């Protein structure tokens, strides 16, 4: 029993008719995305440097829009179940050649058809499990990166704290040294004042002693004079 024909595959389809391109060129691009998920097919077509890739991407987007709006299907659950290009009408033109002859020019067209369907349940489960694993791995990488950044910041902040502590210690040492110097200067001034006071006291003591000696000498002289007067 023959299988399902390509143009009879169930699903939602979009058709572009009479596009001015040969079916051969369109088939080369359609073979790249047949059987792919819609997201991956769109990425592949965006990275393919061909004119047919741009056209097929538009037809694929139209098929996805039809499935979403007409059949109420989730675009994330769709895949390209079938895609093909049929030959359209060929425009015939003529080019003059030598000796009065003419050459036929064939301007070919094609009909591009893209059919999208919902993924089977087992394939959806595998896809969801893969996406969950990718999300978990991505979250783990982000957490690891944030932890590395926190460790780097902490390591970079530690030397700065040490430098600030050293600066504070140096500042305290400078303050203590300045206070000690000021205290030493005050002590020297006190000693100088004390020495001046001692010299003054000694000078006053000498003056007092000298005054007492002069008084004693004068008293002796007076006594001697009185004795002489009595003898006479």
Q: DSSP characters for 135-192? A: HHHHHHHHHHHHHHHHHHHHHHHHHHHHHHHHHHHHHHHHHHHHHHHHHHHHHHHHHH
pLDDT score for 2: 61
pLDDT of residue 186: 47
- Distance linking the first and last C-alpha atoms of the chain: 189
Sign of the torsion formed by the C-alpha atoms of 22, 25, 30 and 31: positive
Residue located via tokens 């999208």 = 116
Assign domain 6-119 to a CATH class: alpha beta
Q: What is the pLDDT of residue 104?
A: 94
pLDDT of residue 232: 41
Q: Say what the pTM is.
A: 0.58
* pLDDT in the model for residue 147: 87
Q: Three-state SS for 4?
A: coil
pLDDT under 70: residue ranges of the chain:
1-3, 157-232
Q: Give CA–CA dist 30/84, Å, rounded.
A: 7
DSSP3 helix / strand / coil % (the chain, rounded to 5): 70, 15, 15
Report the pLDDT value the prediction gives residue 4, as an integer from 0 to 100: 73
pLDDT of residue 62: 95
**Beta carbons within 10 angstroms of residue 148's beta carbon:** 10
- 85: which strand partners? 112
How far is residue 8's CA from residue 53's CA, in Å, rounded to a whole number?
Answer: 24
């Amino acid at each position: 029993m023959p299988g399902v024909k390509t143009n009879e595959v169930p699903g939602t389809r979009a058709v572009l008719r009479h596009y001015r391109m040969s079916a051969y060129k369109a088939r080369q691009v359609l073979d790249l995305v047949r059987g792919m998920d819609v997201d991956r097919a769109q990425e592949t077509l965006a990275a393919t440097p061909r004119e047919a890739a741009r056209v097929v991407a538009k037809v694929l987007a139209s098929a996805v829009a039809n499935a979403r709006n007409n059949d109420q299907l989730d675009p994330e659950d769709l895949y390209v179940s079938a895609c093909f290009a049929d030959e359209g009408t060929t425009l015939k033109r003529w080019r003059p050649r030598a000796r009065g002859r003419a050459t036929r020019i064939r301007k070919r067209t094609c009909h591009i058809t893209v059919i999208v369907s919902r993924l089977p349940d087992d394939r959806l489960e595998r896809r969801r499990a893969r996406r969950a694993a990718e999300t978990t791995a991505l979250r783990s990488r982000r957490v690891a990166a944030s932890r590395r950044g926190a460790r780097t910041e902490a390591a970079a902040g530690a030397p700065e704290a040490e430098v600030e502590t050293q600066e504070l210690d140096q500042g305290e040492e400078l303050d203590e040294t300045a206070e000690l110097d000021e205290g030493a200067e005050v002590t020297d001034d006190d000693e100088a004042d004390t020495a001046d006071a001692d010299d003054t006291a000694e000078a006053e003591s000498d003056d007092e002693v000298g005054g007492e000696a002069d008084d004693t000498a004068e008293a002796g002289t007076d006594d001697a004079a009185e004795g002489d007067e009595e003898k006479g």
